[in-house]
Amino acid sequence: MAGPEEVSDICNLKDCDRADDKISGCCLMCHKMYHYECVNIKALTRSEKVVFACPYCRQAIQNLHSINEQVNNLPQLRQINVLKNDSCKQISDLQAKLQQKEADNRDLHTKVATLTTQLQHATWKEFTQPLKDLVLSDSMLGDVDQAKLHNTKVVPISGGRAETLRDELKKPSYHGARYNNLTIVSGTNDIKGANGDADKVAATIDRYKLKELINDAKAIADNVHVASVCPRQDNDKDLIDPYNVSLQVTCDECDVEYIDNTPIFTLADGTTNDGYLAGSKGPHLTKSGVNKLIRNLKVKVRNPEEDVTKVQRRHPQPNGQPTGGPGQTPPGSGKPKPRPRPGRGRPQRNPHQYQHEDIAYHQDGCVYCNEPGHNSDICRHRDQGGVVCYTCGRGGHKSKHHYDH
């Protein structure tokens, strides 16, 4: 019999404590001897033989089966590992994108905080487009070409007085508008309202509500300027100085800037430079006079050296010779050409003779009468060869459009 810590000489089971004379048999797998009782086999006679596997071999067989199953499942495990690796990579990419988004979000929060701080310390002007300048004028500036001005709008009103200029500002197009500088150029027609009486000049300013005009201008502009009446040589020339004095007083009362135009039209000897006056008298100005006035009003122009007036073309006569101004002698004539009267001596011309050239001149009106609203094919003046201006004797426009040409 083996001791408690000894292995039997016959049985190879660890910790076997049975006697060596017990019935034993040989394992089919490892060919080692084991007591039948140690391998859970009922007692038999020595003559009987039993085929069995020892516990160690049975465990080895089970491990072998397990390994075989794992080998059979290896492709699925490999596929699972591939999916796992892909998932891990996707998760890693998503985590990297999430970190980048978080970093971008922090940057956006920082920018928003910076812009909020700037907004709290900034005025509304810093975030708006530059304000335009507006010039309200009578027909004195009717020849100004808007395209040659920079960020400035000139609104010429024929026969404009202080009252009509104020009506202009009441139009819906000015509602909610805002301007940087607003310059008022009027007074020429207001002086005519005094009827040659210098004592009525101050009353004329009040009657045509110049103060109300200035107040309305201040409501839509940051800076308001009022220009004086330009000198001229007609019958109302003596009314200009008293009117400008009253105008300057009104500007002081309304706290607006007064622009004096007299120096730019005055020569060194104190006389008026009639080269700036249309017809050498006024009240309208020549091209040079308009350019001089625009510069004195500090109107922004695109090219300081460029003429700011519209390009005008001289109309040819049926004989192919250009006409001159009123009273000028046409080429080849020894005396001034008489001014035509209504219904008499109207020059005839071929309706199609100068159509191409007149179209270039009459961009907004009919070729034969310069009136809008119809084309040349249905003009009632077509058969007569077009209308003739009674002021200058030129064809293609009426007398009421003379100063537009």
What CATH number does residue 54 fall under? Answer: 3.30.40
Residues 291 and 361 in one domain: no
The reply to whether 156 and 283 lie within a common domain is: yes
Closest to 243 in 3D by CA, of 258, 256, 223: 258
Domain membership flag for residue 184 = yes
For residue 311, what pLDDT is reported? 79
How many domains would you assign to the chain? 4
Q: Are 290 and 144 in contact (CB under 8 A)?
A: yes
Query: Would you state the pLDDT for residue 14?
Result: 81
Establish if 307 belongs to a structural domain. Answer: no
Residues 186 and 275 in one domain: yes
Burial of 103 (0-12, 13-18, 19+ CB in 10 A): exposed
Which domain, by its residues, includes 200?
Answer: 132-296
Assess whether 174 and 261 both reside in one domain: yes
303 within domain boundaries: no
Compute the distance between CA of residue 334 and CA of residue 108 in angstroms, rounded to an integer: 84
pLDDT of residue 351: 42
The reply to whether 137 and 251 lie within a common domain is yes
pLDDT, residue 256, reads 92
Residue 305 lies in a domain: no
Give the HSE-up count for residue 59: Cα atoms under 13 Å, Cβ half-sphere: 4
Cα torsion angle, 114, 118, 124, 130, sign: negative
- Tell me the three state secondary structure of residue 323: coil
Same domain? 202 vs 154: yes
Tokens of 178: 């805002």
**What distance in Å separates the CA atoms of residue 372 and residue 229, rounded to the nearest whole number?**
32
Q: Degrees (nearest 5) of the Cα angle 395, 399, 401?
A: 90
Q: What is the CATH number of the domain that holds 159?
A: 3.40.50.1110
Indicate if 243 and 287 belong to the same structural domain.
Answer: yes
Specify if 306 maps to a domain. no
Q: What percent of the chain has pLDDT over 70?
A: 74
| Structure-token pair, residue 379 | 């003009």
Helices (H) and strands (E) in the chain, counts: 9, 7
What is the C-alpha to C-alpha distance for residues 64 and 254, in angstroms, rounded to an integer? 111
Closest CA relative to residue 394, chosen from 288, 318, 336, 335: 318
Whether residues 109 and 177 share a domain: the answer is no
Which of 32, 55, 72 is the last residue in one of the domains? 72
Residue 268 has phi, psi (to 5 degrees) of -65, -30
| 275 shares its domain with 331 | no
- Does residue 153 share a domain with residue 114? no
Domain boundary among 296, 327, 358: 296
The rounded distance, in Å, linking the Cα atoms of 19 and 23 is: 9
Backbone angles phi, psi at 374, to 5 degrees: -155, 165
Residues of the chain with pLDDT under 50: 1-7, 125-127, 207, 314-334, 342-363
Domain boundary among 251, 271, 296: 296
Examine the domain organization and report whether 78 and 65 are in the same domain.
Answer: no
Model confidence pTM above 0.85: no
Q: Please name which of 314, 323, 339 lies closest in space to residue 390, comparing C-alpha atoms.
A: 339
DSSP class of 397: S
My answer on whether 317 and 292 are in the same domain is: no
